[in-house]
Structure 1
């Protein structure tokens, strides 16, 4: 399907913040290379004695100095870019995951521009999975698991895609000492146990190119036999390199490419080949023979950086499935290879299918957007809008997002050119692991297009060509308008130079200009008859001399357009002083477009009373105590307010001697309105509160005493009744004590006279 190519006009926004300060230049082309500068081509723009550098200034300054807009060259506000801008699509025949696809843009030096790149991962995008296995002897039990792997991988990944192709490759090590034994018997059968049979060692072998025939995968893998070598590290990086660069023999398609690497040991790196006498660095080319094998004897092991670059160039995502004891080594390796992850493989590889599925999920959920081949003069930075539409606050070297599924992601891209390009250059912005890219052709706006120079121009007195408002004088003529004839007489030249310096001991034009026709043409920011004044020496406002609203001549600002003040900071406008109540609400003066409020008033428009109650206290006293009825008698104290007395009593915000209440507010056109009235009479709240409190305390005390006495009387009465009741219930009976025994002997006292009577 052919992509639709359209042309769109995109407005790029300059970075927010302070405008760059223009550094004046002598020609139009040099001027527009200076950020913040524009060039005026108007022929009558310069004053007598001004150099062409004065044509180069900020657009605002040129406008203020009466340069008409049609004569201002200020490129870079808009950029017309031609875009291949196909919409994002999940169509199996035409998948689009990155938008836009092709941009042509012209930048201005030092002026950043931004645009947006959209990405959405297509659902069901096809997958090519190449299984790369270590066949050293320690992986013997793993090989048995891999023989039935094809169908399991297909079922596990069917949630992500319906189209998957699978291939198989294996590796051991370079076929030379000290990696592989060269003893013929051990070479043919490298098994540690002579009773077992192993196939001879090899560096890498493409056993089965990518195919959608799962049965063929299982059939070819089932034919594989284990091998062996002498040292622990294997030729893993050799195998990854060949699997990546041999695109035609591996049969990689332009889809999601996954390389699964399984091993239970570490890997040889660049430089290790010297142990076997191999000094030639790997050239990054495909070296598979007709049988799909690579012996590795001609080239050293590739470096990690080389492997990383090749994988990125070929959009291959790498999954390391390694045993737990070597996991740290491959974790460190993965950190150096973008779009790679590491998983822990069980000793017999029984969990390899789950590991591949999980690792693929981790890879596909991580997005990394980066540029490739950008010119050195161009700075490219990114801001990402990931989950929850939370945009980065800082610009970064790469655009990154985590935890992404199938939602649309936006990346803001900023381009900033630091120097002019000799010719347009093209670079690419790519998503790691994705074959799609944004192709950007960038050029710089470094030359003014002022049309064909006007030869023998009247503005140049017929003695020069006019281009961009500047005269290029014919030989023998000088001056802003080619009005001077260059004298060949040496004395005439000396006299002309003498008029460009105040005395014989001074430099011509104070060293800050050139002498033309006996007049100094000052350079940069210098002014004056002899270029003796620095135009940057005046007072600054908003970071600019004379607020960029006047000419700085010998330390003094000469303001334009009725601007006033030592730094031309006072604007003649009064728009910030006016409101619906008039100029400064009628209570102040407008100076430098700011209200200077009268005493007692504040606010940007003097519409707020500082303390209205205190301010009009004397006014109320004048009307109430003095009994003045004529408004003119109290006008000074009342600030010429409109005063009225309200009928009846009112409780207003302000009070006077607890008898009068009053309020003050602004009326129409800044008129002050004061209303007062008698304050409603009120009792002495303090006495009431104290009396109520004392009475309440006494009353509560009496109540407590009465209740106490009543309860006490009730208690005594109940106790007496209980006593009487107990007395009534008591009965007294005589009972013989059973323990008492009477006397058995009776003795009469003879001295006792018994009275019988």
Structure 2
């Protein structure tokens, strides 16, 4: 941001608090100069200022201009450039002790006064810290239709555990209980008299909503009230939960919500819900008005007279009363209430067991989820005020966010709120607004008393000079250095009589052609005559009857208007070139001398066109000339192919041409030792003849486009091949390879035999038997036994 300071180093306007502002868009010169009043001027862009000095614009100077342009021209005391400023009205420290007798403070600061100019963002630091033992009000709102009978019994048994668990979280805990069924009309409940008394076995008569137990520190009473409550019945599947939520939220005194507490509405059900419009099925057409209608017994007595509330209506009341809703629903309803939770500020949803046995853990988990997150919201009108939030939360990178998670009691989080006024409201009553920045679900907020700067101090009624003698014959009000003329008068000093003249006709005299701006937007229409603005650069002039001409908007070349004074001058937006120059910016010489090569007399070598002193070379499918003078043509085929046969014939007496045909060649080659390109317009040609000999020659075209040829006198021929040496070499190679294979085979065989013989000798020496006898041979033995002999 550019800091606006005078050349002497002091601020133009003093402010109690210096405000950081960021210019959101680049300043266009026309944004300032087209504004005719101080208020319009200073609010169009942060860098626009107004000079309120008397007769400042008598020489055509612009009262509305950038601060940089006004400094030095306008006296410092007369430069009007109101800046944003902020004053803290209430800035108490955040609460951090258990013994504080005052209401806990969790957001800082609490109240500020802010003066803000449009399009000048203001950065405000907002701190949040969750206080220890912050009061908690938990109101249990339960669906007591017949299907929830087992849940009621389980809740009664878990009542003390719920109170104990929440008591471990905070010492300042209140608990209440309410229930709901549905509207007592068809088709929601049966209209049969007996069913209205007992809709199901051992059931109580149906009802809309009942407050059984207001919020109280006596949590033991909760168990008694839950046991005493009777279930009821209805016909359709959806319940009247929206009626119950609305009454539980808005009936502040009946429910006994505390002003400074975290308000939690625990909604428990196993069914869906009716919403706005469903009441028409029962003949109920009156919309829900969002007011409290509980009688002295806690019963909702407008259930059959008002329709169900809408989702947006509930959300509005939830935001207004700072209530967090926890939806504890069974698994089959979870997805429905999850989508519902997305539409209600500060609400969450948890999965409830079929008998509500996990209600304590669910409440503990959802409460932890709510309290571990802080989310800042505001009530600013988006079409006028834009607020962006930035934070690094508990560490990490600073990012654009209004929400921080993972907080614990005692953690401090700092947010930067960037507040920007988009535009001045048309209604002056909206120039002063009260904006709240608040943490969702808490009845605490930062109050911003916002004053939108839409006019200059010198435009205030007490700074005006009515019937001023500074305006001709007192025909206007003098303010901010200019006259605001009365009806029938016009002009800088109200000197023009426009009483009998049509203002549109007078203004039309200052409009050029089909232009929509008076004096081309570069002057002031004074009594039907344009007075052109002066420029910051004294060399730049705006002229013409309608200020339509100038000497600075002509075409430029290399940054100079009309290529500089040596080439031409700018008159009414067009370059007037001197005699030797031409072109839109007088950048082109009228002569073609710069397009002719030093060693030629042809423009662009005859292969291009001279434009603005530069050659533009011709191009075709096969030829593309280049170079400063179009002297090069890398892609051109040339005359090599056309000349090669004549070169063979005339120089080497070879080639396809006969002696007669050779006489038709139109050039005489010149023998040289080495064919090389020595001049820029020469071409080297290399070919091979039928004997595979390479020959070279160089050519170029003379002034008459005839070839001049220089031929290298010797050809480069390959050495002749010795066939006999090749044959003998191949035979010798085959013999040597064969002998090598035989020797290798013989060597490997001999080594193998010797290894086997050595192994045999070693085994023979180690034998343990007579070598003359076979060790595996055994002679036969004969055994005789007398069968009659018994061994006696």
Distance change >3 Å, CA 383–CA 167, structure 1 → 2:
same
Structure 1 SS opposite 2:407: coil
Aligned to 1:414: 418
Report the CA distance shift for 1:434/1:10 in structure 2 as closer, same or farther (over 3 A).
Answer: farther
C-alpha displacement of 1:241? 0.8
Specify whether residues 372 and 486 from structure 1 end up closer, same or farther in structure 2 by C-alpha distance, changes over 3 A only: closer
Give the superposition deviation at 1:385.
3.0
- Counterpart of 2:53 (choices 33, 38, 42) is 42
TM-fit CA distance, 1:410: 1.9
- Please give the alpha-carbon distance, in whole angstroms, between the structure 1 residues aligned to 2:543 and 2:420: 38
Structure 1 residue 469: deviation in Å?
A: 2.8
Aligned to 2:722: none
1:336 is aligned to 2:339:
no
Give the direction of change, closer, same or farther, for the CA distance of 1:197–1:56 in structure 2 (3 Å limit).
Answer: same
Unaligned runs of 5+ in 1: 1-7, 491-495, 547-551, 558-718, 738-757
| Mapped partners of 1:13, 1:319: distance in 2 | 41
Structure 2 partner of 1:445: 453
Deviates more, 1:284-293 or 1:78-87: 78-87
Structure-1 residue corresponding to 2:444: 436
Please give the alpha-carbon distance, in whole angstroms, between the structure 1 residues aligned to 2:155 and 2:507.
Answer: 93
- Give the alignment of 1:263-662 within 5 angstroms: 263-295=269-301, 296-372=303-379, 374=381, 376-393=383-400, 399-406=402-409, 407-417=411-421, 418-420=423-425, 422-423=428-429, 424-450=432-458, 452=463, 467-470=479-482, 516=526, 520-522=530-532, 527-533=542-548, 538=553
Say if 2:43 is the partner of 1:33. yes
Paired position in structure 1 for 2:105: 96
Select between 518-527 and 292-301 the one with higher mean Cα deviation.
Answer: 518-527
Q: Provide the secondary structure at the position in 2 that maps to 1:327.
A: helix
Distance 1:320 1:521, change over 3 A: same
Contact 1:171 1:239 in 2 (8 A): yes
SS in 1 for 2:415: strand
Pairing 1:215–2:220 present: yes
Q: Per-residue deviation at 1:293? A: 0.8
Q: Is the 8 A contact 1:374 1:428 kept in 2?
A: no
**TM-score of the superposition, structure 2-length normalised?**
0.60
Q: State the shift of 1:485 in Å.
A: 8.6
Do the aligned residues in 2 keep the contact of 1:463 with 1:474 (CA within 8 Å)?
Answer: no
Distance 1:487 1:422 in 2: 29
After alignment, is 377-386 or 116-125 more displaced?
Answer: 377-386
Q: Deviations over 1:349-408 (max 9, x none)?
A: 111000000011111222221112547422233223323153214xx7xx2223332321
Instruction: In structure 2, list runs of 5 or more residues that go unmatched.
Output: 1-14, 536-540, 562-569, 576-754, 775-792
Deviations 1:442-468 (A, max 9, x none): 122222223745789898799787543
* Residue 501 to residue 301, structure 1, CA distance change in 2 (3 Å): closer
Structure 2 vs 1, CA of residues 184 and 388 (structure 1 numbering), >3 Å: closer, same or farther? same
TM-score by length of 1: 0.63
Aligned length: 543
Q: Is the 8 A contact 1:519 1:529 kept in 2?
A: no
**C-alpha contact 2:52 2:63 (8 A) present in aligned 1:** yes
CA distance 1:239–1:458, change in 2 (3 Å) = closer
**For 1:132, which of 138, 141, 146 is the aligned residue?**
141
**Quick one: distance in 1 between partners of 2:572 and 2:124?**
45
Structure 1 residue 307: deviation in Å?
1.4
Residue 110 of structure 2 corresponds to residue 105 of structure 1: no
Residue 233 of structure 2 corresponds to residue 228 of structure 1: yes
SS of residue matched to 2:377:
strand
| CA RMSD in angstroms, aligned pairs only | 4.7
CA change 1:477–1:200 in 2 (3 A) is closer
Q: Distance in 2 between matches of 1:348 and 1:285?
A: 33
Structure-2 residue corresponding to 1:14 = 21
**Cα deviation per residue 1:617-637 (whole Å; 9 max; x = unaligned)?**
xxxxxxxxxxxxxxxxxxxxx
Contact 1:508 1:514 survives alignment (8 Å):
yes
CA contact (8 A) 2:180 2:241 kept: yes
SS at match of 1:294: coil
The DSSP-based 3-state class of the residue aligned with 1:233 is coil
Q: 1:206 to 1:522 in 2, by over 3 A?
A: same
Pair 222,38 (structure 1): closer, same or farther in 2 beyond 3 Å: same
Cα pair distance change 1:277/1:61, threshold 3 Å: same
Q: 1:735: how far off?
A: 10
**TM superposition shift of 1:161:** 0.8
